[in-house]
Amino acid sequence: MLSGCSSNPQIPAPSLIKSSIPPIRFLLTFDDGPSGATYKNSTEQILDVLAKNEIQPDIKAVFFVQIHAAFNGSKKKHSLLVREHAEGHLLAFHTTTPRHANHRFLKPEDLEFSLQRGIEDLTKVSGSAPQLVRPPFWNYDERTLESYHRHGLKMLLTDLSANDGKIYGVNWSWHKRSNLLAQLRRVKADWADGNIPTVNGHMPVVVTLHDLNSYTARNIEVYLRILLQVAHELDMPVAAKPFYDNRTQLEKAALARTVKYMHNEAYIPGVWGWLWR
Task: Report the C-alpha gap between 186 and 207 in whole angstroms.
Answer: 13
Task: Report the C-alpha gap between 175 and 215 in whole angstroms.
Answer: 13
pLDDT band at 273 (very low <50, low <70, confident <90, very high): low
pLDDT at 16 over 50: no
* Region label for 133, one of left (φ > 0), alpha (ψ between -120 and 50) or beta (otherwise): beta
Tell me which amino acid residue 12 is: P
pLDDT at 197 over 60: yes
Share of the chain above pLDDT 90, in %: 76
pLDDT band at 189 (very low <50, low <70, confident <90, very high): very high
pLDDT band at 127 (very low <50, low <70, confident <90, very high): very high
Whether 276 contacts 268, CB under 8 Å: yes
- Domain layout of the chain by residue ranges: 27-275
pLDDT at 3 over 70: no
Share of the chain above pLDDT 70, in %: 84
Q: What is the pLDDT of residue 4?
A: 37
For 101, the 3-state DSSP assignment is coil
Give pLDDT tens digits for 134-149: 999 999 999 999 999 9
Sign of CA dihedral 138, 143, 144, 150: positive
pLDDT band at 20 (very low <50, low <70, confident <90, very high): confident
For 133, the 3-state DSSP assignment is strand
Task: Report the C-alpha gap between 145 and 153 in whole angstroms.
Answer: 9
May I ask the CATH architecture of the domain 27-275?
Alpha-Beta Barrel (3.20)
Average pLDDT over residues 223-243: 98
Q: What is the pLDDT of residue 246?
A: 98
CA 36-39-45 angle, to 5 degrees, is 80
Give 72's DSSP letter.
Answer: T
pLDDT at 262 over 60: yes
Give pLDDT tens digits for 171-187: 556 689 999 999 999 99
